[in-house]
Amino acid sequence: MAFHKPMNVLCQFTDRSVPPRPTLAGFGLPKGVYAAGRLDFDSEGLLLLTDDGALVAAIGSPKFDWPKTYLVQVEGTPTDEALQRLRDGLELNDGPTKPAEVAVIDAPAWLPPRDPPVRVRQTVPDAWLRLVIREGRNRQVRRMTAAVGLPTLRLVREAIGPYTLDGLAAGQWREVAAPELPARLRRSEAPRTATQSARSTSTGEGRSVPLSRQEAAARPGLIRPWKRDGR
């Protein structure tokens, strides 16, 4: 499934917060599907969902290198130097980023105003970037733009590999053909189920990592893969 996630919606179907936050359960998605990759609570745009556990795990894996395309509204005026730093890769507190593709674009005419509205300062200009990355660390796009002096105001994921929003309004979804995974990914990720992948911890734009043994032990009902072979 291709789903246009609105802002302030969790990429999961339940929330134990009090009061609970909006989740995927409110959009009539088919039963048994889970997010393949993640998108931050305060980000918008394309989210892929599937009931294929290997696919859930593979797309969320750091081995998976599909390009992820973001439309980013930033505060400030992008300079050639700032754009080149993004293209070259820059140093974040968790290590260097891979080189990104980036271009200044006009405000997307098809994209409606955000709800809630973006807070902009009348005395400070803003601009739009199209940014393409092949990794997905915690809040990576926001940290990258901030590192070059361009704080992110709005973040919309436009595409994941060959899949795009393609006219989907916020909250809408459609069925899409499943991709063929490279054999190396399907072999390495096949033992995981969709439920296990959905219970991974989110790391931000586009990626999740498995729960640690200690974290999993604290969650009743979770199948612990190391128990299968006696470890």
Catalytic residues, by residue number, are 40
Q: How many CB atoms lie within 10 A of CB 180?
A: 7
> Which ranges of the chain does DSSP label H, i.e. alpha helix?
53-59, 80-88, 140-147, 183-189, 194-198, 213-217
Q: Which two tokens stand for residue 88?
A: 């070259």
Q: Report the distance separating Cα 30 and Cα 58, nearest Å.
A: 21
**Angstrom distance (rounded) from CA 216 to CA 67:** 30
Q: Is 227 helix (H, G, I), strand (E, B) or coil?
A: helix
Q: Are 39 and 157 in contact (CB under 8 A)?
A: yes
Separation CA 31–CA 133 (nearest Å): 31
Give bridge partners of residue 3 from the DSSP assignment: 47, 173
